Amino acid sequence: MADTLDSAATFSPLRWRGDTLELLDQTLLPTREEWLTCNTVEEVAEAIRRLSVRGAPAIGVAAAYGLVVGLTPVPAEGELADRFAEVAELLLSTRPTAVNLRWAIERGRELFARHREAGAAAARAALLDWAKVVHAEDIETNRRMGEHGAALFEGEQRVLTHCNAGALATAGIGTAIGVISASFARGGVAMVWVDETRPLLQGARLTSWELQRLEIPFKLVTDSSVGALMSRGLVDGVVVGSDRIAANGDIANKIGTYTVAVLAQRHDVPFYVAAPLSTIDRETATGADIPIEERDGEEVTDVFGTRVAPAGTEAFNLAFDVTPAELIAGIVTEEGVLRPPYSESIRQAFARAQP
């Protein structure tokens, strides 16, 4: 109990208890609320791979704790370096697109390099302290993003979000949903359009679940209804999360995000992205350089165990797509709302964050 952090959200999808990482198994929501206990790094990796924990910031925090789990029990001194390298590599291999994962592992590697000489137990202890900082930082980062983004919507607007970029995707109040809930509290948002987000239905399953808990009115639609909603003038704004932002402001996010952005442009609806600076990868020049994960076609041909396509049907299942910077009205970060041209505003935000 002592080892849990208060997320300031009404719930948090991950917690450190004793020497284990506990994850709310998001594949079972909203039907069942069950916690996974990860005693080994293999269990952490598998939980990330199968989306029991998902959302770029939450994956980053889970990976930080995963490094600690991988050094539990503490390895023999002679095996420490190899073991750590193996653990870091395993976690890094789980999912290619979300850069927060790589960001956490790289920071963990630097920290380990500084502490390994002190011995295995000390290195592990330093990593645990650091993972808790990463966890606490994410909560604080979410809070600040909500503050900055709350002013984007004025006067009871109807805001659409895609996938789930809420508390379930982070350690705190969420990125896109953090902005929405902060704005809702001020009367800027009246209701939320939730698109279901096939194939894994994070909108229908997770965002609906969160908005119910937050008591924010919402309506669920299929992904392909967004065009009709906009052409009927029913959407005033869009805010989504991101899994990686390139140096020029192009973003990767859940498949379907690009389509929403194209529709928003056609209908003069402002399209915002909410993501912490840890999601911005300045080493990735443009969206074309972001690796896009392709997942198993069965996620499309089977819906929760019901086969929907004929046997032998092949599906092409991209997990993410890229939305070019030109379609994005603003990127909400903990350092404020970045505006085009993003190459410049991103550079300035990092300068403010690391003076």
The catalytic site residues sit at 243
287 touches 321 (CB < 8 A): no
DSSP 8-state assignment for residue 31: T
Q: Which stretch binds a second copy (CB under 8 A): 129-137, 219-227, 235-243, 333-341?
A: 219-227
Q: State yes or no: residue 313 binds a second copy (CB under 8 A).
A: yes
How many residues are there in the chain?
355
Q: Which stretch binds a second copy (CB under 8 A): 11-19, 124-132, 164-172, 228-236?
A: 228-236
Handedness of CA 60, 62, 63, 67 (dihedral sign): positive
Nearer to a second copy, 126 or 297 (CB): 297
Out of 8, 190, 221, 285, which residue is the one contacting a second copy (CB under 8 A)?
Answer: 221
Q: State yes or no: residue 24 binds a second copy (CB under 8 A).
A: no
Out of 116, 317, 340, 343, which residue is the one contacting a second copy (CB under 8 A)?
Answer: 317
Cα–Cα separations (whole angstroms), residue 338 to 26, 97, 100, 127, 253: 31, 22, 19, 32, 18
Give me the DSSP letters along 335-355: TEEE-SSHHHHHHHHHHHH--
With a CB cutoff of 8 Å and minimum separation 6, the contacts of 133 are: none
Q: Which stretch binds a second copy (CB under 8 A): 41-49, 150-158, 168-176, 192-200?
A: 192-200
The residue written with tokens 């989306």 in the block is: 51
Q: State yes or no: residue 11 binds a second copy (CB under 8 A).
A: no
Nearer to a second copy, 20 or 301 (CB): 301
Q: Which helix or strand (DSSP H or E) is residue 111 part of?
A: helix 99-115
The residue written with tokens 């279901």 in the block is: 196
List the interface residues with a second copy, window 283-312 (CB under 8 A). Answer: 292, 297, 300-301, 303-310, 312
Which of 100, 44, 37 has its CA nearest to residue 70? 44
Residue 327 Cβ vs a second copy, minimum distance, rounded to whole Å: 10
Q: State yes or no: residue 30 binds a second copy (CB under 8 A).
A: yes
Residue 283 Cβ vs a second copy, minimum distance, rounded to whole Å: 22
List the interface residues with a second copy, window 93-122 (CB under 8 A). Answer: none
Out of 228, 233, 326, 353, which residue is the one contacting a second copy (CB under 8 A)?
Answer: 228
Q: How far apart are CA 188 and CA 93, in angstroms?
A: 41
Out of 32, 314, 354, 355, which residue is the one contacting a second copy (CB under 8 A)?
Answer: 314
Q: How far apart are CA 159 and CA 291, in angstroms?
A: 29
Q: How far apart are CA 77 and CA 342, in angstroms?
A: 46
Nearer to a second copy, 141 or 323 (CB): 323
Residue 68 Cβ vs a second copy, minimum distance, rounded to whole Å: 33
Nearer to a second copy, 20 or 26 (CB): 26
Burial class (CB in 10 A: 0-12, 13-18, 19+), 302: middle
Q: How many of the other CB atoms lie within 10 Å of CB of 43? A: 18
For a second copy (CB under 8 A), the number of binding residues is 54
Own/partner pairs, 19-22, CB within 8 angstroms, 24+ separation: 19/69, 19/72, 20/69, 21/62, 21/65, 21/66, 21/68, 21/69
Q: Which stretch binds a second copy (CB under 8 A): 64-72, 74-82, 108-116, 190-198?
A: 190-198
Q: Which stretch binds a second copy (CB under 8 A): 34-42, 113-121, 141-149, 220-228?
A: 220-228
Q: State yes or no: residue 263 binds a second copy (CB under 8 A).
A: yes
**Residue numbers at the binding site for a second copy (CB under 8 A):** 30-31, 195-199, 201, 204-205, 208-209, 212, 218-229, 231, 255-256, 258-259, 262-263, 266, 292, 297, 300-301, 303-310, 312-318, 321-322
